[in-house]
Amino acid sequence: MNLVYLMMIFLFLVSFFYSFWFCNEILLTTMVGMVLGFTMLSLTSSMEFFICYSTSFLVNEDFLFNIFLLLTLLVIFLSFLGMEEIKGKLSFLGYLLFFLGLSLIFCFMVHLMFWFFLFEVSMIPIFLVIVGWGYQPERMQAGIYMLFFTMAGSFPYLYSLFTLGHTYGLANFLSLKDLSYLGVSWGIFVILGFLIKFPMFLVHLWLPKAHVEAPVGGSMVLAGILLKLGGYGLVRMLNGMTYIFFYLSSYLYSFSLVSCVYVSVYCLAQNDLKSLIAYSSVMHMGMSISGISMMNEIGVSSSILMMVGHGVISSGLFYLGYMIYGSLGTRSLHLLRGFFSYGDIMWTFWFILVVWNMGCPLTINFFSEIGLFIGILSYSLLSLLLLISISFMGSFYGIYMFGFVHGELNSWGFSLGGFKTSSYLCSFLHLILSLLMIFILFI
């Protein structure tokens, strides 16, 4: 927890000096509120529904709680720093993101009903952000898609909670011991609710639409935090739903690996930059699902690492995609060809984030992928061909994404204006915080 406090102090100092220098009061106000919320959460950590439990596959007693709480604070801070719409004023959009951040901070309770309630509450501000500040006329359709899919998984989950409370009176992750008496169908309802929020392939259609239509802050929060709540819930439920994971393990991990191959190929057919980044998120979350479904130590730990690393890196990719869209007014890869050929330092940030997203050595994604490969191969050697395909196609679409933006300049050309200081700062902080996350996770 000391490292989390140090990171909070670092973020608060950065926001304070930036706010003082550029008169950006919304960023300072946000960080003050986040610090107060974090302090309240820490003071009440002795309460039963806030504390975490120790299991063999976690690094220490409070690892899961600490790391997801820290990830939430980082992404909310970066989203406020990167949004031009709320620079220098306390707008309604700023209040929405502030409320979203607080609800997500308290979402990492281990109380089942509170987790469900706060997740559903967090859907309200993200829906308003997409519908109110989206870039395309289809933003209403994207918001409805998101609500429909998440609610489709929430109703069976809510029914399962009522059944659990009625039969045994349990409403806490910590109290889950053996729930096999509730039957396989009950467990499927619970897991389905988490998988839709992850999202798993075939129930992922809401994610690309929401990302494409959302403003940059909404995309950063959506990719960095909201997608991880499903994985957080699955890891918490491992203690009491061992029987259902054993029953579904082979199906889940096989389907996840096959879907990763399909999605990585489908990424090569994308022409929209944000859609390409969104589908790459689906592939990474599919790998995390396969790791959790194996229920071994290295698989679950590597899945947590992948979720954390993807949260920061995908946030940076969406931010740089927004900078490209803000400069040219298009996200078409064919029209963006050669955008970073002018030698601006932004292309260096773009290259580093793309390479880290591909699993460059000594990054979080690299360690998580190596751990997942070891865990999957220890489960079944027949998965080797699928893992080779995933690794190859993942690198291929990463090169595809970078090559178009940094390739040969389009014949029609374009005028490139200079980026603001806040743009360089936000991009640089994504890199620095990714490196600091490695230190926190492994030191």
Q: Exposed, middle or buried: residue 239 (CB in 10 Å: 0-12, 13-18, 19+)?
A: middle
- What DSSP line would sit under 29-53, residue for residue? HHHHHHHHHHHHHHHTTTSTTT---
How many H-runs (helices) and E-runs (strands) does the chain carry?
17, 0
List C-alpha distances in Å: 407 to 140, 335, 338: 35, 11, 5
Interatomic CA distance for residues 236 and 229, integer angstroms: 11
Query: For 332, phi and psi rounded to 5 degrees?
Result: -70, 125
Q: Under a CB-based contact definition with an 8 Å cutoff, are residues 365 and 288 in contact?
A: no
Residue type, 303: S
CA 411 to chain centre: 37
Q: Under a CB-based contact definition with an 8 Å cutoff, are residues 357 and 314 in contact?
A: yes
Widest CA span of the chain, in angstroms? 69
Interatomic CA distance for residues 286 and 72, integer angstroms: 21
- For residue 137, which of 212, 85, 208, 82 has the smallest C-alpha distance? 212
110 C-beta neighbours (distance < 10 Å), count: 21
The domain locations on the chain are 2-442
Query: For 111, phi and psi rounded to 5 degrees?
Result: -85, 125
CA 307 to chain centre: 6
The Cα angle at residue 87 between residues 86 and 89, in degrees rounded to 5? 70
14 C-beta neighbours (distance < 10 Å), count: 17
- For residue 272, what are the β-bridge partners? 332
Each of the 443 residues of the chain gets a pLDDT tens digit; together they read 455 555 555 555 555 555 544 445 455 555 555 554 454 444 444 333 333 333 333 333 457 777 888 888 888 888 877 776 665 555 777 778 878 877 887 777 666 777 788 888 888 888 888 888 887 778 888 888 888 888 888 888 888 877 777 666 555 665 666 676 677 777 888 888 888 888 888 888 888 888 888 888 888 888 888 888 888 888 888 877 777 788 888 888 889 999 999 998 888 888 888 888 999 989 999 899 988 888 888 888 889 889 988 888 999 999 988 888 877 777 887 777 766 666 567 778 888 898 888 888 888 888 898 989 988 888 778 888 888 898 888 888 888 888 777 656 554 445 455 667 777 878 888 888 888 777 776 65
Q: Which alpha helices (H) appear in 268-341, and where do they start and end?
A: 273-294, 297-328
Residue owning tokens 């898609």: 145
List C-alpha distances in Å: 15 to 21, 72, 287, 361, 437: 10, 16, 34, 31, 19
